[in-house]
Chain A
Amino acid sequence: MHNKSPLIEVKNLKKYFDINVGMFRSKPLKAVDGVSFSINKGETLGLVGESGCGKTTVGRTILHLYTPTDGEIWYNGKQIKNKTDIREFRKKATMVFQDPYSSLDPRMTVSDIIGEPLDINKMYSSKKERRERILELMNHVGLNSEHASRYAHEFSGGQRQRIGIARSLAVNPDFIVCDEPVSALDVSIQAQVINMFEDLQQKLGLTYLFIAHDLLVVRHISDRIAVMYLGKIVELADAAEIYERPLHPYSKALLSAVPVPDPKLARTNNRIMLSGDIPSPLNAPSGCPFRTRCEYATEQCALEPPEFKQVSKGHFVACHKVEEINS
């Protein structure tokens, strides 16, 4: 379905935030610490991990909403470096936000919200053209044209998310960062919105970076999945592969936590319980970030960070013990 040329390449991306500790001292909070991946044209990469692991920061840093501390972002074989690149890149890469309530300006009508990217990039020559484009976008996401002159607070969560999606489609992007776009919606609406994402991908040939913590949703929509833990990607593989044969101990634990909609099966399911909490990214453990909660951890794990290496075709894992654990 999709060809193999990468649309987005992220190389060793880092984003540290300076957090004030004490009066004049600040400490880097390593929200994203050396993340590399690529997304092919027309593909969906799912990014999962528990809250606070840096998923959202990855998405926002790719779009340069946060200035990356280090690392490279390549789009279509061209590195995004200076302001002109960023400006051009933003016409091709947009974002759908998590919270459908705060992501729409309460003082704007739907047509102004959707038309905003058009206004900013001056992508129309007449009022009529603008209006037609907005109606076309609303049609794409299943909104009624009568909705155009209404305000965001008059809509339900699902409809608001559709408005957000229409806005992200306005500039005709190739790439959309979906930052937990369905986690604020209830399940029946989630299905609608997810299906709409898939329809749009087929119709418009979009590429997604799909950030979520709902593993079932991610499995449904993604071609490949990356698992993040404490600012690092610990495992990256095809969606089916990672669900059937997770290699990293963290992915195993994470996937065993997926709720099974069958009580009988759920009772027999061996859930891997992790002890302890996710460490603060302010004092991340040395070596492998997961070692504090990993039952296989040895001294080597504390000393050197594991290499992110390919174990089978397209399946990358960052773990010293991967062979031992999975043999």
Chain B
Amino acid sequence: MKNKPFSMQVNLDDFIPASPEDKEYLSKMRPSSTFFKDGVKRLLKNKVAATSAFFIIVITISSILIPFFWPYEYEEMLGVTQGGFVDSSYSNLKPFEYGETEQQKIENGEKVFPHIFGTDNHGRDYFIRVVYGTRISLAVGFFASIIVLLLGVTIGSVAGYFGEKIDLIIMRIVDIIYSLPDMLVIILLSVVLKQTLNLEGTFLQAIGGNIISMLIVFGLLYWVSMSRLIRGQILSLREQEYILSAKANGAKASRIIRKHLIPNCISVVIISTCLQIPNAIFTESFLSFMGLGVNAPMPSLGSLASDALNGIYSYPHRLVIPAIVICLIVLSLNLFGDGLRDAFDPKLKH
């Protein structure tokens, strides 16, 4: 039936009874979709975030696996043989160049694994050093964010849930920590901890006291922003009726925080942890660059860049390579974190 323009007549086609198929369609149960599944779906649709995630995974896996089958070691000085002379032809090789003894081997028809990025001034294979540096940087970033995550979430949720006096005290401590200059505290603390932490003979010695102190400093300083974030979330969540219902059923505070509050702000937690990692990597690189990072001969991306400064005119690739790796890691983590936020933050949903 055709309606006249401007007439108030009702279109009778809208009132035809539903056919059995229509009813079937409406009553059919659609497969259950959780918040998490939805988020992952949205994340994978975001090309930039998916590529960054792929990058992160590739870099992480290769930094873990490559040292197992690479023929050179990160502290191995190729020109030095036990009891022999130092063969200086191995030092400062350009990419894909070989030392003297290696040249002879190649001439004899033997295969020699190439030095992809050349060697440094001590004759150490530069590629494996970059791989180890990446490993250290990623590990620092990862563990630092875990420490921040644990401390921040615990303290933030306690402050948010209990409120009043406890909240007031915790938030004033947070304000104080906020007002300290980060870098100064990190530098001071790593100097102090270097003296006081006694790591001789423990397995932590290889990584060095500096890294440990850096992790401690991260734990001490960077939980504040995380805990503020969590506190804000929990302040709004705890007014929900399901929290009241849990209380009415006799749930204890710890249960309410664990089972209701934290699961409901987990997306915020994941996102801000993800954005915390590049922050930690940057700080680590900066400190290593300043000479406060890992102990030699262990490399990190920052210390590699710092060492490269001496020969910057002759061997610029030694500075460029670790810098590019830092950029790639930090950029992809940031983009991935952004993608996570877009995918999981319900407030940004379109």
Identify the A interface with B (CB < 8 A).
Answer: 60, 63, 65, 87, 90-91, 94-95, 97-99, 102-108, 116-117, 120-121, 146, 149-151, 154, 164, 167, 171
Contacts and interface: CB of A to CB of B under 8 A. Distances in A.
Nearest to B34: A151
B249 A94 contact: yes
A166 to B, nearest CB: 12
A87 B250 contact: yes
B249 A121 contact: yes
A149 B248 contact: no
Contacts of B242: 102-105
A121 B32 contact: no
A12 B264 CA distance: 39
Contact of B246 (A87, A116, A154): A116
B196 interface: no
A298 B249 CA distance: 47
Across the A-B interface, give the 10 residue pairs with the lowest CB-CB distance, nearest first: A103-B241, A117-B249, A107-B263, A90-B250, A105-B242, A102-B241, A97-B241, A95-B248, A102-B240, A120-B251
Contacts of B32: 149-151, 154
Interface in B23-47: 29, 32, 34-35
Contacts of A107: 35, 260, 263-264, 266
A90 B252 CA distance: 13
B255 A97 contact: no
B34 A120 contact: no
Interface residues of B, number: 21
Nearest to A95: B248
Contacts of B248: 63, 65, 90, 94-95
Interface string B308-328: 000000000000000000000
A118 B315 CA distance: 69
B105 interface: no
Contacts of A97: 241, 244-245
A95 B242 CA distance: 11
A103 B245 contact: yes
Interface in B243-288: 244-251, 255, 259-260, 263-264, 266
B249 A90 contact: yes
Contacts of A106: 35, 264
A8 B264 CA distance: 36
B267 to A, nearest CB: 10
B219 to A, nearest CB: 28
B148 to A, nearest CB: 23
A191 to B, nearest CB: 21
A95 B59 CA distance: 53
A161 to B, nearest CB: 12
Contacts of B246: 116, 120
A105 B249 contact: no
Contacts of A91: 250
Contact of A98 (B29, B241, B259, B264): B241
8 contacts: A60-B244, A65-B244, A95-B244, A95-B245, A105-B242, A105-B264, A151-B35, A154-B32
Contacts of A108: 259, 263
Given A98-B241, A103-B240, A150-B32, 10 more contacts: A63-B248, A65-B248, A90-B250, A95-B245, A97-B245, A103-B241, A105-B263, A108-B259, A116-B251, A116-B259
Contacts of B251: 116, 120
B266 to A, nearest CB: 8
Contacts of A167: 245, 249
A176 B319 CA distance: 71
Contacts of A63: 248
Q: Most A CB atoms within 10 A — which of B244, B250, B255?
A: B250
B260 A105 contact: yes
Interface in B1-42: 29, 32, 34-35
Contacts of B247: 65
Contacts of A104: 242
B251 to A, nearest CB: 5
A16 B35 CA distance: 40
Q: Most B CB atoms within 10 A — which of A104, A120, A149?
A: A120
B250 A121 contact: yes
Contacts of A95: 244-245, 248
A107 B255 CA distance: 14
A149 B259 CA distance: 17
Contacts of A94: 248-249
A121 B32 CA distance: 29
Contacts of B249: 90, 94, 116-117, 120-121, 167, 171
Nearest to B252: A120
Nearest to A87: B250
A104 B243 CA distance: 9
A151 B29 CA distance: 13
A37 B11 CA distance: 56
A98 B32 CA distance: 26
Contacts of B245: 95, 97, 103, 164, 167
B195 to A, nearest CB: 47
A282 B35 CA distance: 42
A92 to B, nearest CB: 11
A244 B5 CA distance: 53
A185 B32 CA distance: 24
Contacts of B35: 106-107, 151
A103 B247 CA distance: 12
Q: Most A CB atoms within 10 A — which of B29, B35, B245?
A: B245
A58 B248 CA distance: 14
B255 to A, nearest CB: 7
